[in-house]
């Protein structure tokens, strides 16, 4: 569901971009998008009080905030959405955004598109350390 192919073609300057979920990943995305001159809106179902620590980092960046609910208008009217990993993709506002053709992007997708070197992904519930060590030896 996350469309990473469009990241490099997307110029964020003056684009309406909504970040859904203001956890660690969301704060990092807000910083990145602000540096790239996007018009950033943050949408999070948590209240201002529960997000106090994260808000200290992002309020000075001049972003719009929609807190305490996932604002369907801000989400559906965005030109792109960055949805934090912890946010369920089946939320009604996200369904509305999909129906409106808003591209869903992710921090991981952004990294994969912008990383200049080859990437090796190692996943799974066990054996990652061993596999990583083996891949490291093979690449030396």
Is residue 79 classed exposed, middle or buried when 0-12, 13-18 and 19+ CB atoms within 10 A define those classes? middle
Domain boundaries, the chain: 16-114
Q: What is the pLDDT of residues 2-55, one digit of tens each?
A: 454 555 556 889 999 999 999 889 999 999 999 999 999 999 999 999 999 999
The pLDDT value recorded for residue 125 is: 86
The pLDDT value recorded for residue 117 is: 82
Q: What is the pLDDT of residues 45-90, one digit of tens each?
A: 999 999 999 998 899 999 999 999 877 887 888 999 999 988 999 9
The pLDDT value recorded for residue 19 is: 95
Superfamily of domain 16-114: NAD(P)-binding Rossmann-like Domain (3.40.50.720)
Instruction: Kindly report the number of other CB atoms within 10 A of residue 60's CB atom.
Output: 9
């Amino acid at each position: 569901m996350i469309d990473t192919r469009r990241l490099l073609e997307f110029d964020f300057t003056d684009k309406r971009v909504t970040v859904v979920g203001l956890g660690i990943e969301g704060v990092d995305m807000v910083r990145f998008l602000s540096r790239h001159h996007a018009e950033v809106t943050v949408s999070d179902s948590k209240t201002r009080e529960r997000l106090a620590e994260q808000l200290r980092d992002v309020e000075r960046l001049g972003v719009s905030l929609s807190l305490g609910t996932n604002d369907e208008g801000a989400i559906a009217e965005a030109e792109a959405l960055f949805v934090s990993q912890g946010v369920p993709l089946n939320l009604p506002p996200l369904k509305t955004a999909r129906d409106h053709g808003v591209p869903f992007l992710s921090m991981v997708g952004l990294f994969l598109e912008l990383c200049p070197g080859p990437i090796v992904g190692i996943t799974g519930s066990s054996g990652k350390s061993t596999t990583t060590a083996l891949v490291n030896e093979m690449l030396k």
